[in-house]
Amino acid sequence: VDVAVVGLGYIGLPTAAVLAAHGSRVVGVDIDARTVAAVNRGEVVIVEPGLEEAVADAVRRGRLTASIEMPAASTYVVAVPTPFREDHRVDLRFIDAAADAVAARLRGGELVILESTSPPGTTRHLAARILDARPDLSGDGSSGRPVVEFAHCPERVLPGRAMVELVTNARIVGGLTPSAGERARALYATFCRGEIPVTDAATAELAKLAENAFRDVNIAFANELAAVCEHVGVDVWELIAMANRHPRVDILRPGPGVGGHCIAVDPWFIVSAAPEQARLVRTAREVNDAQPGRVVDRVVAAAERFRAPRIAALGLAFKPDIDDLRESPAREVVAELATRLPGVRIDVVEPHVTALPAELAALPDVSLVGLAEAVATADVVVLLVDHAAFVAADRTALGLGEKVVIDTRGAWREVD
């Protein structure tokens, strides 16, 4: 096997399929038997445009298989989750489990690449864990075997565009040694048409975190402007449209908060690495995390104008036109509304799913309904996700003119 890709999730599986399409013989490794079985049938259990076709093709051509067992391979690409714990520090348990499984298969001379987004020092940690288990491969050459090398190559693809961005985005490669960096660059160059500059591992780790923190800080700025505008009575969308006419200003869009598993997580790794220094990054996280609560306050204030209010909440996904509800601020808004307004009916509209997530399904007054029905019976309509279906909806036919509308995404602009 040329490459073992460890972790067949949103990053690992697309990477395995693209490597297989560009000349590598790939084994994908996952602890979930269902995922492994699906991939071996040429099927996928996650939604990502173009992924299923790529996996089916690679499996049919015999270039990609999946396994629960770690194989012997010349290169290992580790793409397992790096969640954070309550204290906002990284939880390395999946990295450590992958390291232990890889260590047991090494024969000498392999390249181990960490793709998971990680705090500075994690590539070094991975290397130390593997070499502690395998002192025979740790570099003084006394065993006579070639040393194992390590690099970090953080993933950077946008969910929903992964198959395109894997090929077109630039990649950063950080080697623990220059030769590890060069070897990793050669692997990514088989499929990546973007630039692939090589740096050291800690710089690559921090660069990836900086990219997502940059976005988080800029979204926090937009969210803060929305609060300022509300306070002084200015339409934030009009304000942003005006300010962005400046050639060096590009304000992002305010919303009900920052969701997903990257932008709301990665900045904390910067904060925990340098708590005294990362003041702006921490504040941005706090501003964005407070957004769902601000939306709830506005909806509660609007609902209090009615004797027996009924609320329509449009969208549950963490961003438009996807079915991914994980870490979604919209979900938080609906759950919090149900707590703050006991007995008030909340009709949720989410065209990309067929059932409510468990914690909302368990609430007696919350149900999943169609757009027209939800709006027709609502007093207050809160738009939480700018799905194309909502943006394009005929607002007159829906009767939105007679409702109190809270448009958190500026999809329709405020009409209340």
- In the complex with ligand SAJ, the residue whose CB is nearer, 3 or 322, is 322
Considering 153, 192, 262, 319, which one is annotated as catalytic?
A: 262
Cβ at position 322, least distance to ligand SAJ in Å: 8
Residues within the interface to ligand SAJ (CB under 6 A): 117, 155-159, 211-212, 215, 219, 252-253, 255, 258-260, 262-263, 318-319
- In the complex with ligand SAJ, the residue whose CB is nearer, 211 or 365, is 211
Cβ at position 248, least distance to ligand SAJ in Å: 18
Considering 153, 192, 208, 319, which one is annotated as catalytic?
A: 208
Cβ at position 318, least distance to ligand SAJ in Å: 4
- In the complex with ligand SAJ, the residue whose CB is nearer, 157 or 202, is 157
Residue nearest to ligand SAJ (CB): 262
Residue 229 annotated to the active site? no
Cβ at position 379, least distance to ligand SAJ in Å: 26
Residue 208 annotated to the active site? yes
- In the complex with ligand SAJ, the residue whose CB is nearer, 129 or 319, is 319
- In the complex with ligand SAJ, the residue whose CB is nearer, 134 or 171, is 171
Cβ at position 14, least distance to ligand SAJ in Å: 11
Please write down the HEC assignment for all residues of the chain: CCEEEECCCCCHHHHHHHHHHCCCCEEEECCCHHHHHHHHCCCCCCCCCCHHHHHHHHHHCCCEEEECCCCCCCEEEECCCCCECCCCCECCHHHHHHHHHHHHHCCCCCEEEECCCCCCCHHHHHHHHHHHHCHHHCCCCCCCCCCCEEEECCCCCCCCCHHHHHHHCCCCEEECCHHHHHHHHHHHCCCCCCCCCEEEHHHHHHHHHHHHHHHHHHHHHHHHHHHHHHHHCCCHHHHHHHHCCCCCCCCCCCCCCCCCCCCCCHHHHHHHHCCCCCHHHHHHHHHHHHHHHHHHHHHHHHHCCCCCCEEEEECCCCCCCCCCCCCCHHHHHHHHHHHHCCCCEEEEECCCCCCCCHHHHCCCCEEECCHHHHHHHCCEEEECCCCHHHHCCCHHHHCHHHCEEEECCCCCCCCC
Catalytic residues: 208, 262
